[in-house]
A and B are shown apart, each in its own frame.
Chain A
Amino acid sequence: MSNLFDLLVAGLATGAIYALVAVGFTLLWQTSQTINFAQGEFVMLPAFLMLAAMHVGAPFWLAIILGILLSMILLGLAFKMLLVDPMMRHGVLPLAIATMALAIGIKEAVKQFFSAEASPFPSIVPTGDISVLGHAVSLQSIGVLVVAILAVFGLTTLLNRTSLGHQMQAAAQNPTVARIIGVPVERMILLTFLINAFLVALASLLITPIYLAKFSSGEVLGQAAFIAAIVGGFNQVRGAIAGGLLIGVLDNLAAAYVSTQYRAAVPMIFLIAVILFRPQGLLGRAEERTV
């Protein structure tokens, strides 16, 4: 039983990171019909940006800030202006394929400039345990959960409680009408790209101490987040959150109770079941777009 508790906590911590990445997925889809297959690499890259900043002598806190800012410029602004905007007019599919190419490009570039070997990455949360309900739970797991929950809470507050959020919703739901009533749709779309870049940088900061900084570490993450977004509902932020947590827990339980060899298959099977029986996702709504 204590084992189940540990697995749940570890699964939720990983799932919270998947959720951050999956939320970014749905945001981009909602506002600009971008299916970003480079999302996993987007999580891998900020860690290397932070490592590079530390390499030239920045302290860890400064490296984090620089890493996040650089990510927002590269993975938010530059991504939108140099790749999404020019490709968008050719349709959803060419854009999706372009993001696949971008994923390969980012991976190879990191391999070239850093190395193919893994590097250690410092943790923002100190190692150690605290006792929760009589179970020892690592501070790292709790730290990851807390940061992820805060980020998601902040995001939903922004979307539902502020004028800016309402404008973003409007831009996503009906860009034409939004434009007529004076919502700066283009700026709203750019904002979602920046938010996505911020979320992936945060995810990078949280996951890299555990997974190590490696050029290929985005592959697993991108896939998990993609599945999470579809399972939860591609058109709902809360769906992506639920999907992320669910996939994280499911993955850990599958590894423990089914077999390590088939752990990757279990979320896939779940994905197929969802697509067959509830194609809009667990929390998604059919034929509707909202953020």
Chain B
Amino acid sequence: MKSTLLVGALLTAITTTGAFAQTIKLADVAELSGGGATVGTNWKNGIDLAIEEINAKGGILGRKLEVTHADSQSNPGVARAQVQKALDAEPYVLLGPGYSGSVKVTAPLAAEAGITQIMGGEAAELTQAGNKFLFRTSFGQQSSMPKVAKYIHDDMKAKSVAVVWVNNDFGRGGRDVVIKELERLGSKVVADLSTEAGQADFAADVGKIKAANPDAVFVYLNEEESARILKELKRQGVTAPLMGETTLIGQKVIELAGDAANGARGHVGLTTDAPVELIKGFRDRFSKKYNYVPDHNGLKGYLAVYMVKATTEKMGKVDPKAFADTLHGLTIKASEEPGILMDVTFDQNGDIDRQSFLVEVVDGKQVVKQVLPKLK
């Protein structure tokens, strides 16, 4: 009698642990409230959509996915506490946060625990600290700026370029990479203009651009300042083509700058308007489930989960310790894993290489003009 009880207990224990081992646990910490609520909510919804799809098709290696969402309140301090809590539950992979500042303070925790962190931050420095467990879902400046420089040199055929940047970490980071790349390619930087965050009057800066008479102008400012300089460029009649990043051609900039934004071009790493069938499909499924059109953060969250799937299937087992090693240097093809949407390669720092898009503002609307290929 005693032994049957014991066996029964043992059996129950085995089956429960067995069932427990069947699900793969992911932990997400994102900006679900506060200033980054749009970022975090898109990211979270992208994750949930991907998990729903994967589970509907039988999960990863026959095991279902499960995720817990925690709110960082868009605050690095809270993010750190939430990540610590999430890591204590020993997840397979940590997803998020989306803000670079929050990633910066949480990355050491995940690395110490030996758990891979797939995040949404875009600041250049994040992947330059030698962290072997941190991966991006979108371009950092060191990936996007070479593409910008290549476009300015190859497609705009600009022999001389004026570079206008905002004097903060973001602006300086981008400026350093783009100038290095432009000079490597053979485009001469004829004006290197630093501006201040919050600057209102760009007459003198535009005057300098005019005097330098460049073939193209690269504008790397925050959104409000981008709008002001676009107006001033138009006011002073600068006709050289304008190139920038998402911050030059974003919807807010178009709203503020009005007509002056027309013709401005920008490099965009991820956009739900991309002329890629798989991305259109994602956009449709997302809009159907949540009743709104996602921004690029929705794409990032979605991709993060499919990175987990592709890497795990590559290993052939669920092994949190070997996960990061496998993802370093891995190329995931959209033909083999449609959920990854576009072919992507991860380098040894966790930075990504992927095709991206050249967007132009036409009549106050963003239009994808060209698909820029992967760098390698």
Contact = CB atoms under 8 A, between A and B. Distances in A.
B205 interface: yes
Nearest to A219: B198
B283 to A, nearest CB: 26
A7 B256 contact: no
B256 A212 contact: yes
Interface in A171-216: 209-212, 214, 216
Contacts of A253: 204
B196 A260 contact: yes
Nearest to B209: A3
A220 interface: yes
Contact of A7 (B203, B252, B257): B203
A109 interface: no
Given A118-B227, A119-B256, A120-B256, A129 B237 contact: yes
Nearest to B234: A127
B194 to A, nearest CB: 6
Given A127-B259, A260-B193, A214 B224 contact: yes
B224 A14 contact: no
Contact of A6 (B193, B236, B257): B236
B228 A212 contact: yes
B208 interface: yes
B237 A136 contact: yes
Contacts of B176: none
Contact of A210 (B195, B201, B205, B224): B201
Interface centre among B194, B228, B231 (most CB of A within 10 A): B231
B196 to A, nearest CB: 7
Contact of B204 (A127, A129, A209, A260): A260
Interface residues of B, number: 32
A14 B201 contact: yes
B25 to A, nearest CB: 39
Contacts of A41: none
A111 interface: no
A141 B235 contact: yes
Given A3-B211, A255-B205, A138 B231 contact: no
A146 interface: no
Contacts of B196: 260-261
Interface in A203-241: 209-212, 214, 216-217, 220
B18 to A, nearest CB: 54
A30 interface: no
A10 interface: yes
Given A127-B235, A260-B195, A212 B201 contact: no
Contacts of B208: 3, 256
A4 to B, nearest CB: 9
Contact of B228 (A2, A211, A220): A211
A5 to B, nearest CB: 10
Interface in A1-42: 2-3, 6-7, 10-11, 14
A252 B256 contact: no
A182 B232 CA distance: 52
B256 A256 contact: no
B238 to A, nearest CB: 11
A252 B237 CA distance: 18
A3 B207 contact: yes
A202 to B, nearest CB: 18
Contacts of A14: 201, 203
B210 interface: yes
A263 interface: yes
B258 interface: yes
Interface centre among B196, B235, B255 (most CB of A within 10 A): B235
A6 B210 contact: yes
B143 interface: no
A140 B211 contact: no
A216 B198 contact: yes
Nearest to B259: A127
Nearest to B193: A260
B19 interface: no
Interface string A26-64: 000000000000000000000000000000000000000
B1 interface: no
A10 B224 CA distance: 20
A251 B259 contact: no
Contacts of B75: none
A3 B210 contact: yes
B224 A252 contact: no
Interface string B313-339: 000000000000000000000000000
B33 interface: no
Interface centre among B210, B256, B259 (most CB of A within 10 A): B256
A210 B228 contact: yes
Nearest to A118: B224
B167 interface: yes
B5 interface: no
A120 B255 contact: yes
A211 B200 contact: yes
Interface string A61-79: 0000000000000000000
24 contacts: A3-B207, A3-B208, A7-B203, A14-B203, A118-B224, A118-B256, A120-B256, A129-B237, A210-B231, A210-B235, A211-B200, A212-B200, A216-B198, A220-B200, A252-B203, A252-B204, A256-B204, A260-B193, A260-B195, A260-B196, A260-B204, A261-B167, A261-B194, A261-B196
